[in-house]
């Protein structure tokens, strides 16, 4: 559903335990990259388990616009007929990335080293998000940019005929910035180097190697990750199976932990070490979580995660854990509301520039439902165990993770919790409402009642 459509008001009610075995949609990060790398390889890439959300479909459409052919087959797999590195075509019209921050930022990197002009647009939420962090290193490589004030969308870029390889130290923990520079380096003669002071999710590096790029990762004397990429490789098409998204799995896991009588298993979840900070934090809080059937697929570790109702306790989540769980702080805040004592989350400044000011949105949502919290510029403290929580309406600010997190709150709160618009959930987890219905949760969609 488009974010420009009428709001989808949904209310979550408590009282029912959640039980069952489920699969969550494919990982969003890997889905975006599978389509993009498939487009840059010469030949046919086949993708199983692709996340068919608005964000990812937007990336498929973007790759189609520059000459690739991304097609959903009858059996549910996707094929990408790639045009090969250096052979992208100039699109005939502006490319609309909707709400997809990952899609547009990684695409900027790809377009930067191809001699084509591309105009990129997005919805109201994406158009308010900063793009300078990606565009600045691309400018160093020779790309020309025309954008709104603050380097916001719509933005037009003209890729360089002779892009310049650079050495770039990423000033913030951002896998998107790192990936954009590496993707620009793919079609740049010479060696592109990215220095990463704080390690972030490494899907780009693993997948580039899988597609045949010459990429090396070392740790320097300062403990920084130094990633070097040799430009202009011949990328080979691949068969890819996308594992379950740990950021999506976070919602049924936390819902089971805070809802009495619950026992939920999420099958086939990505267990990449840079993506499981939430699991680490929940275990420290005393969560009854077990991981089984661990295996490897496409260079990534996956497994089944079982979560049972638990008596949680407050903890301090250190700032250096933030990169491995940056998308999971809203749902961790909900878990903290049911923990005894204070949960202190540090190093959260990156949440200010997500789909919304996610830190402020979480704090206002907690307050609206009677949960004590203290919001600072880069931290959030939640005091759990309050009596009679719930009963509020949460402003989602077009943010899918805010909407999902507070619906989970309502499944265990003393009073129902309403979100003002659940439509953005389709950007990452289109089966969210139906899946929780199958587990036994009660989510009431006002729009369906009115239809």
Q: Are residues 168 and 271 in the same domain?
A: no
pLDDT score of 449 = 54
The active-site residue, picked from 202, 327, 399, 421, is 327
Q: Are residues 191 and 278 in the same domain?
A: no
Q: Is residue 450 part of a domain?
A: no
Q: Are residues 222 and 253 in the same domain?
A: no
Q: Are residues 252 and 357 in the same domain?
A: yes
Q: Are residues 292 and 218 in the same domain?
A: no
Is 176 annotated to bind ligand? yes
- Half-sphere exposure of residue 93: CA atoms within 13 angstroms, side-chain side: 4
Encode pLDDT of 379-432 as tens digits. 999 999 999 999 999 999 989 999 999 999 999 999 999 999 999 998 889 999
Q: Are residues 386 and 398 in the same domain?
A: yes
Is 405 annotated to bind ligand? no
Least confident of 32-36, 173-177, 232-236: 173-177
Is 327 annotated to bind ligand? yes
**Measured distance CA(302)–CA(27) in Å, rounded:** 11
Q: Is residue 4 part of a domain?
A: no
- Cα-Cα-Cα-Cα torsion 210, 214, 215, 220, nearest 10 degrees, comes to 150
Least confident of 23-27, 92-96, 297-301, 341-345: 297-301
Q: Is residue 451 part of a domain?
A: no
Q: Are residues 350 and 224 in the same domain?
A: no
**Measured distance CA(447)–CA(426) in Å, rounded:** 15
Residue where one domain finishes, among candidates 186, 207, 241: 241
pLDDT score of 312 = 98
Average pLDDT over residues 102-107: 96
pLDDT score of 375 = 97
pLDDT score of 202 = 94
Q: Is residue 19 part of a domain?
A: yes
Encode pLDDT of 224-246 as tens digits. 999 999 999 999 999 999 999 99
Question: Per the structure block, which two tokens stand in for 43?
Answer: 């030949």
Q: Are residues 268 and 399 in the same domain?
A: yes
Average predicted confidence (pLDDT) for the chain: 95
Q: Are residues 228 and 288 in the same domain?
A: no
Is 358 annotated to bind ligand? yes
pLDDT score of 335 = 98
- For the chain, the domain total comes to 2
Residue where one domain finishes, among candidates 209, 241, 273: 241
Q: Are residues 223 and 289 in the same domain?
A: no
Please confirm, yes or no, whether 327 is among the known catalytic residues.
yes
Give me the domain span that covers residue 235. Answer: 28-241
Q: Are residues 234 and 259 in the same domain?
A: no
pLDDT score of 3 = 47
Residue where one domain finishes, among candidates 241, 260, 277: 241
CATH number for 212: 3.65.10.10
Is 275 annotated to bind ligand? no
Q: Are residues 419 and 299 in the same domain?
A: yes
Average pLDDT over residues 98-127: 95
Is 401 annotated to bind ligand? yes
pLDDT at 281 over 50: yes
pLDDT score of 2 = 43
């Amino acid at each position: 559903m488009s974010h420009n459509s009428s709001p989808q008001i949904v209310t979550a009610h408590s009282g029912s335990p959640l039980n069952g075995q489920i699969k969550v949609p494919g990982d969003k990060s890997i889905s975006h990259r599978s389509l993009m790398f498939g487009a840059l390889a010469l030949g046919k890439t086949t993708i199983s388990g692709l996340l068919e959300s608005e964000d990812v479909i937007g990336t498929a459409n973007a790759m189609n616009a520059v000459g690739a052919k991304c097609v959903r087959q009858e059996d549910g797999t996707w094929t990408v007929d790639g045009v090969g590195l250096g052979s992208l075509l100039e699109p005939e019209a502006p490319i609309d990335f909707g709400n997809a921050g990952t899609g547009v930022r990684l695409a900027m990197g790809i377009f930067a080293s191809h001699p084509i002009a591309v105009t990129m647009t997005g919805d109201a939420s994406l158009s308010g998000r900063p793009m300078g962090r990606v565009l600045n290193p691309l400018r160093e490589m020779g790309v020309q940019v025309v954008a709104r004030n603050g380097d916001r969308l719509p933005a037009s870029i003209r890729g360089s005929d002779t892009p310049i390889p650079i050495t770039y130290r990423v000033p913030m923990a951002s896998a998107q910035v790192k990936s954009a520079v590496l993707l620009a380096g793919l079609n740049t003669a010479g060696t592109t180097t990215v220095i990463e002071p704080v390690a972030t999710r490494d899907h780009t590096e693993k997948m580039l190697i899988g597609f045949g790029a010459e990429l090396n990762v070392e740790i320097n004397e300062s403990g920084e990750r130094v990633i070097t990429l040799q430009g202009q490789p011949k990328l080979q098409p691949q068969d890819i199976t996308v594992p379950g998204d740990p950021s999506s799995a976070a919602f049924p896991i936390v819902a089971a932990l805070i809802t009495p009588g619950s026992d939920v298993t999420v099958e086939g979840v990505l267990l990449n070490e840079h993506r499981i900070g939430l699991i680490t934090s929940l275990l420290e809080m005393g969560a009854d979580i077990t991981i089984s059937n661990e295996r490897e697929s496409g260079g990534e570790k996956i497994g089944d995660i079982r979560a049972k109702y638990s008596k949680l306790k407050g903890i301090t989540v250190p700032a250096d854990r933030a990169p491995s769980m940056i998308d999971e702080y809203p749902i961790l805040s909900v878990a903290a509301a049911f923990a005894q004592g204070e949960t202190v989350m540090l190093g959260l400044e990156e949440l200010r520039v997500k789909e919304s000011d996610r830190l402020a949105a979480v704090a206002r949502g907690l307050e609206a439902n009677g949960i004590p919290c203290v919001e600072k510029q880069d931290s959030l403290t939640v005091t759990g165990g309050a009596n009679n929580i719930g009963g509020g309406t949460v402003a989602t600010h077009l943010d899918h993770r805010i909407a999902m997190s507070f619906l989970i709150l309502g499944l265990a709160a003393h009073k129902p919790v309403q979100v003002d618009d659940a439509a953005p959930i389709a950007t990452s987890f289109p089966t969210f409402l139906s899946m929780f219905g199958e587990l036994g949760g009660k989510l009431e969609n006002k729009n369906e009642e009115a239809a």
